[in-house]
Structure 1
Amino acid sequence: MKLLLLGATGLVGRLLLEQALADARVRQVTAPVRRAGALPAQPPRLLCPVVDFQRLPEDADWWRADAVVCTLGTTLKAAGSREAFRQVDHGHVLQAAQLARRHGTPAFVLTSATGADAGSRLFYNRVKGEVERDLEALGFASLTLVRPGLIGGARTESRPAERLSQQVLGLLGPLLPRAWRISPAPAIARALLRSALQPAPGVQVVPADALAG
């Protein structure tokens, strides 16, 4: 299969890329990046075109794939404003999905979040819900929404509040319902890859309790 991976430089994206390149079923992975050298040494099966996510190339051949896996995302702190956050987590995701759909890619797999709800009063949950809703409207033959809870793993950027939450939930994990436990990044990556390699028809949701550590 040919996979298009969006967000390959992030925590989950890097793990997913490793898993995909280690899987004999994957013939090629295209992982667009913002700057050259953003990913380590590239094997022949990996293509890393440099793109501007504000102006994605509309006619690139790599939009045509067997499946898109999207792990794009940021935080309000990193984005700097609600508008900038929405541009990444909704705007970039939806534009990429539209281009892939236009080029005939049949399956799309998204890292969303627990609590995603277009009608939520919480901004983060509302944006996640809106992008889920708008992706569904594009009519992919297969759309999988993976909804982790707090993502567990070592990030390159500093997130003190998230790190503290991981420590607390790590201690309480055995006492909590599975849906409230940490979602380990490798488990999320495995769920994403499995959904891309074995796409089920229609809209599928992978909840946090299926990802819990």
Structure 2
Amino acid sequence: MATQRHIAIAGASGLVGHSILLDALDDASVEEVHVLCRNPVKVSHPKLVEHLVDFQLIPPLPKISEVYLAVGTTMHQAGSREAFRNVDLEINLAVARAAVAAGAQRIGLVSAMAANPKSFFFYNRVKGELEEALTTLAPEGLVIARPSLLLGDREALGQPIRLSETLTMYAGKVLGPLVPQNYRPIQAQNVARALLRHVPNADRKIVLCSGEMQPT
């Protein structure tokens, strides 16, 4: 692992991406954190470099050693299959390509538990297609996090609260011990920390299932 890392993050306004951002800024081995976003992330730090970009045409980036992809939406928020694919696949892939062109050798991705390019379900199929597309970029290390239902304070980030997450959180308190670890809701911060733990030294493709990212 390089003593001074230059990392890029896409999706820093979301649950996992925001946790990656905060933890990376606190990491002494990280020299610069480049955030690609449409709007400012409302975080101030000497290491932070914001790039307000049009994701359809990302300008050349400065030297990057790692990139973390956490851009995502829901079918409901996107409004159509085409819009969902544009966000979850096209934007993440465009950022990855720009980072690789800037020297990134390692990629960390927030995917989904049932990601599969051959899935019958559109959501899972798109997630799987993105995983495949990133593999073809042939980075030295590719770490794919496949979390179950994400938990975190969306309200603090200015995001709408998802009823499904609220209901699952309360149900989990009652049924938690009976649910297999891979299917239990997981705090976004735990997903972020798992990626930050594995990506810097990754030398192959690694898939982290949700249960592996749960605290022991």
Task: Name the TM tier (shorter chain).
Answer: over 0.9
Code of the aligned partner of 1:170:
K
| 8 Å contact from structure 1 (residues 184, 211) kept in 2 | no
The AA in structure 2 aligned to 1:207 is C
Which residue pairs with 1:130 in the alignment? 129
Alignment of 1:48-63 (within 5 A): 48-57=50-59, 59-61=60-62
Normalising by structure 2, we get a TM-score of 0.91
Q: Distance in 2 between matches of 1:76 and 1:185?
A: 20
The Cα shift of 1:4 comes to 0.5
* Same amino acid, percent of matched pairs: 38
Which residue does the alignment assign to 1:153?
Answer: 152
Judging by fraction of residues, say which structure has more strand: 2
Indicate whether 1:100 and 2:104 are aligned: no
Gaps in structure 2 of 5+ consecutive residues: none
1:52 CA displacement: 1.2
Aligned twin of 1:43:
45
Q: Return the TM-score normalized by structure 1.
A: 0.92
Cα deviation digits, residues 37-62 of structure 1 (max 9, x gap):
x32241111001111112222x232x
Asked if 1:144 corresponds to 2:146, the answer is no
Kindly report the root-mean-square deviation, in angstroms, between the aligned alpha carbons of the 2 structures: 1.3
Once residues 212 and 196 of structure 1 are traced to their aligned partners in structure 2, the CA distance between those partners, rounded to angstroms, is: 17
Q: Which amino acid aligns with 1:206?
A: L
Residues of 2 paired with 1:95 and 1:72: CA distance? 11
Q: 1:27 to 1:111 in 2, by over 3 A?
A: same
Q: Which residue of 2 aligns with 1:166?
A: 169
CA offsets, 1:182-211, max 9 Å, x none?
A: 11111101011112332x211111111112
* Residues 16, 188 of structure 2: 8 Å contact kept: yes
Alpha-carbon distance in 2 for matches of 1:103, 1:91: 18
Q: How many residues align?
A: 207
Deviations 1:112-131 (A, max 9, x none): 11011000001111001000
Match of 1:87 in 2: 86
Residue-by-residue CA offset, 1:152-187 (whole Å, 9 max, x unaligned): 112131311232223223321111111111111111
SS in 2 for 1:28: strand
**Which stretches of structure 1, 4 residues or longer, exceed 2 Å deviation after superposition?**
195-198
Equivalent of 1:208, from 182, 202, 210?
210
**Rounded Cα–Cα distance in structure 2 between residues aligned with 1:153 and 1:31:** 21
**Partner SS, residue 30 of structure 2:** coil
Task: Give the corresponding residue for 2:200.
Answer: 197
The partner residue of 2:16 within 12, 36, 40 is 12
Gaps of 5+ in 1: none
SS of 2:51's partner is coil
Query: Which AA in structure 2 matches 1:205?
Result: V
Query: Equivalent residue for 2:112?
Result: 113
